[in-house]
Amino acid sequence: MTTVSRRGFCRALAGAGAVAQMPAAVRGAATAQTVKLGVIGCGWYGMVNVQAAFKAGAVDIVAVCDVDSEHLRIAAEEVAKLQGRSPLIFKHYEELLQVEGLDAVIIATPPQWHALPFIAAVKRNLDVYCEKPLAYDVRECRAMQNAARASG
């Protein structure tokens, strides 16, 4: 099994288009561990990120979260097909962030809902990939920046 460091995985996810074009030998060069990932927001963007995560390799989608029951059901089914095991399912991001062993989260909620899960995730020392725009306004962006700096 090929494994990737958490930070390497987040970098790979950010450049998923480029990663998909690289030969498998290059993608697996920096190996360390399988990334245990939670997905917050399972609509179209969330599922595009899930696909990119699997292309980047060495990912275990442990949990998915969405307030929309239909998005949540579809996401859980798709993840189960991709990894052969169903993820944990949550309606509230706070519950997802309590999952033991989680390494990172993807935040793919609507923009006005990026700041709260981002801040909560970095307070738990999780790596975060967040869809753009990162924040809804400058005040949120500063709060997110301060939380990230405080977490180290």
Q: Are 129 and 49 in contact (CB under 8 A)?
A: yes
Does 133 fall in a domain? Answer: yes
Does 116 fall in a domain? Answer: yes
User: Cα separation of 132 and 113, whole Å?
Assistant: 11
Q: Please give the share of the chain, as a percent, with pLDDT higher than 90.
A: 74
Does 61 fall in a domain? Answer: yes
Does 83 fall in a domain? Answer: yes
Does 112 fall in a domain? Answer: yes
**Domain around 38:** 6-151
Tell me which of 3 and 91 has the higher pLDDT. Answer: 91
Backbone angles phi, psi at 135, to 5 degrees: -135, 160
Q: Are 59 and 103 in contact (CB under 8 A)?
A: no
As for how many domains the chain has, the answer is 1
Query: Residue 33 belongs to what H/E stretch?
Result: none
Return the closest-CA partner of residue 90 out of 134, 142, 40.
40
How does the average pLDDT of the chain come out, rounded? 86
Residue 131 predicted with pLDDT over 70: yes
Q: Are 77 and 89 in contact (CB under 8 A)?
A: no
**Tokens 């697996």 sit at which residue?**
28
Q: What is the CATH number of the domain that holds 30?
A: 3.40.50.720
Residue 21 predicted with pLDDT over 50: no
Residue 86 predicted with pLDDT over 70: yes
Does 1 fall in a domain? Answer: no
Convert the pLDDT of each residue in 40-77 to its tens digit: 999 999 999 999 999 988 999 999 999 999 999 999 99
3-state secondary structure of 35: strand
Residue 24 predicted with pLDDT over 70: no
The mean pLDDT of 128-137, rounded to a whole number, is 93
Does 57 fall in a domain? Answer: yes
